[in-house]
Amino acid sequence: MYIRGRYLALALIASIGISSGVTALVTSNNGTSALPGSSTATPEFTKLMDTYNTLQKSYYQEAKSDTLLNGAIEGMIKSLEDPYSTYMAPQEAQQFHENIESSFEGIGAEIREEEGKIVVVSPIKGSPAEKAGIKPNDRIRSVDGKSLDGMTASEAVLHIRGKKGSKAELVIERPGQQGELNISLVRDTIPLETVYSEMLPEQMGKIQITKVSETTYTEFSKALTDLKAQGMKGLIIDVRQNPGGLLDKTVQMVDMLLPEGKMILQVEYRDGSKDTYKSDAKKEDLPIVVLIDEGTASAAEILAGALKESGDVPLIGTKSFGKGTVQTTKSFDDGSDIKYTIAKWLTPDGNWVHKNGIEPDYKVELPAYASLTAIDPEKEMRQEQFSNEVKSAQTMLDALGFKPGRLDGYYDAKTTEAVKAFQTANKLEATGTIKGTTAIKMMEQLQEKLKKNDLQLEMAERVLRKMIP
């Protein structure tokens, strides 16, 4: 999170499409730059200065000043053992700000580093990552053959990002599933649009917020106005798979939905002092429910927590991610930044959600097939093969009503017959193998089935229906 005026802008989770690193000088309290060994350095930096001078003079190869200083800064940040504190070289800092303010090219997923592994927080709606079936808590072990183990999230982003149209070959480790998944996808432009709205039956409006960027409040306000003009009687806010974003925009949205004077959140610093954010706008007179899941993080959790505790708004879905710290950034003249944690944020009632998440009032799980990864249309699956990809395909067939007989990843004769039945039903050549159009059709129909069987949304509609006068 970084400070902008009276608001704090959330930069809570590194994004694929963002990268981090820094080339910077050690800065003294008065804002002047002090190189190691200079007369302005404070006594506690003697060891650092001695190391710097020794390496410059005696290392067997030339030790560049920038490299040594960058390494020292990186070491300081890493010693905090905080996955949300990082450094950003000029290119990485530029990408970071682009993700907050504009579109970028990549696979479209928010990530973080956890114990040396790169972990997905949430795929972005409509992105290649979401279409490929990447899920929250997936571990990205490698990309294009390059291991990401041991990298910071910012370092990993440099390898995961790429030009639109370029292919990314990912190796994924999914908790609770044996073996690794090989996922192939094509990078694309990740869209700016963050708010999607529609009118559901019985004049119930639905607004989905996919992340919180510079344009989100404006988009949300317009969506709310449009739905009200259509006679909306109640509102479902969907922040599932929302990895967070800017706090000032979140505060503005929540401000529209809570009575004046109600607490939105508290920000607590290490000395115990707190900043409080309260609603000062007129509340929309609407019954509201909120959808959350394990991909709901940071700013999205602020919205959910504020509405739950200050507005008695029921939450529906599964427990949220649990990101409760605040970051700030410091920029340097060369375009680099450091991002580091300065505080923790608390819900209106003073609860710290960090690593705990927010529990829904109505716990509703999605069907098991909702967590399946995509299958690669370019790779052929046929009889006698055994893999996790085959297991995913078998589960898809089973969910679509074409019984493969087994779901363990072994492609036997019965799986072949199930594939032929699916192909025949969809007027495709009945080869009994899965590739190309067959794979694409399977995934499209599964997505459509999931959309029609969104148990969490169904519960939200039932709950909201009872709240509408």
What is the residue-wise DSSP string for 277-306? EE--SPPP---EEEEE-TT--THHHHHHHH
Which of the following is catalytic: 85, 298, 320, 336? Answer: 298
Both tokens assigned to 94: 């530029």
Residue 209 CB burial class (10 angstroms; 0-12, 13-18, ≥19): buried
Q: Which of 76, 66, 171 is nearest to 120 (CA)?
A: 171
- Determine whether 57 is an active site residue: no
- Determine whether 298 is an active site residue: yes
- Determine whether 166 is an active site residue: no
Half-sphere exposure of 247 (CA within 13 A, CB side): 28
Distance in angstroms (rounded) separating the CA atoms of residues 384 and 351: 53
Radius of gyration, CA atoms only, the chain: 25
- CA 183, distance to chain mean position in Å, is 18
Which of the following is catalytic: 92, 268, 294, 309? Answer: 309
Are β-strands 167-173 and 139-143 bridged in parallel, bridged antiparallel, or unpaired?
A: antiparallel
Is the CB of residue 151 less than 8 Å from the CB of residue 113?
A: yes
Which of the following is catalytic: 206, 249, 323, 339? Answer: 323
- CA 180, distance to chain mean position in Å, is 21
Catalytic residue positions, numbered: 298, 309, 323
